Amino acid sequence: MDVQKIIELFRLKGCNVRRFNFINAVELFKISEPHYIIYTSSEDIGEHYKSFIEDIIFALNLTHHMCIPHYKFLRAHNNKVQMELLRELYEFPDLDLFASQFIATEKDIENVKFQFPQVIKGHTGALSKNVFKVNSLQELKKSFNKVASTLNLYQLFRGKLRQIKHGKNYRPEETKIGKMVCQNFLPGINYDWKVLVFYDQLFVLKRENRKNDFRASGSGLFSFTKDIPREILDFSLSIRKRLHIPNLSLDIAIFEGRPVVFEFQALYFGTKTLENSNFHFIKDDLNWHVKEDIADLEEIYVSSVVNFIIQEVESTVHK
């Protein structure tokens, strides 16, 4: 997005805006007046810079300032384990269908009971990377090995020396570690919707599954349609409110008449669904309406943040 344009739009709405780089964000510790802090994430290789961003935002979240979104959603960005834990924390209505379980080592696999088929998700990866359907314990172990990290030779050698030194009292490190989410496979879903929620405005893209595959993400089989089940629109907006955030990206489908969320992100998500659409959905008190227009990304983003602060944050503070 055009950051300078965003700053100007905030100022047009009466906001006093100051811009900080992450490297000098610690200056905010010295500012006594509470501020709202909006920020973004990163998907750098190795996530070293993302880790740096997490350090900064975590610290700012401990101050009198308010980070939007909260640090926990930054932690969940590109981290499917944290994302699923937030689903549990916020008690999503689809918890019973997925029955998510979490593993990180080969020993964990032996200590968990699975009902096959399962969908296995490595903690990181976009476009369905590191997402597998498995039909047996053997296939699960094979998928785990694809995403797990193996100890290097130095760590293995050090472990052997410690084993010799401490004998039977030494518990060696796991040789493979790969945190993953294991979920029930939901059959019969041939497509899903990518839904971007900007406060009360929804942009929706229908995505067909890949050929002979259960995954829609990354299929390239996209279409814009106004024929969206109301349950999808209502559920998407309700999840945004449940998480108490201004913006949200959802991968969502209908299973046995119920909306289910495959994945969600609260920041640093793709915006092509908004940029390529000629219409979007907005709700009044009772009904959804289609608004025909080509939306401006920066304007929609700024409007969503300002509405969130005024109507949800400020109203809570003054109660």
- Residue 228 to residue 18: CA distance in whole angstroms: 40
- Residue 296 to residue 64: CA distance in whole angstroms: 32
Identify the residue whose tokens are 């903690």: 123
Q: Which domains does the chain have, with CATH numbers?
A: 3-76 (no CATH), 99-185 (3.30.1490)
Neighbours of 3 (CB within 10 A): 10
Strands 176-184 and 131-134: unpaired
Tokens of 89: 């924390």
From first to last of its 319 residues, the chain has per-residue pLDDT tens of 999 999 999 999 999 999 999 999 889 998 989 999 999 999 998 899 999 999 999 999 999 999 999 999 999 999 999 999 999 999 999 999 999 999 998 888 888 889 999 999 988 765 557 788 999 999 998 888 888 776 566 666 676 677 777 777 767 666 678 889 999 999 999 999 999 999 999 999 999 887 766 766 666 778 899 999 999 999 999 999 999 999 999 999 999 999 999 999 999 999 999 999 999 999 988 899 999 999 999 999 999 999 999 987 666 655 5
Q: Is the CB of residue 125 less than 8 Å from the CB of residue 156?
A: no
- Residue 87 to residue 260: CA distance in whole angstroms: 11
- Residue 102 to residue 239: CA distance in whole angstroms: 23
Helix (H/G/I), strand (E/B), else coil: 59: helix
Q: Is the CB of residue 193 less than 8 Å from the CB of residue 206?
A: yes
Helix (H/G/I), strand (E/B), else coil: 18: coil
* DSSP letters spanning 95-148: HHHH--EEEEEHHHHHTS---SSEEEEESS-STTTTEEEESSHHHHHHHHHHHP
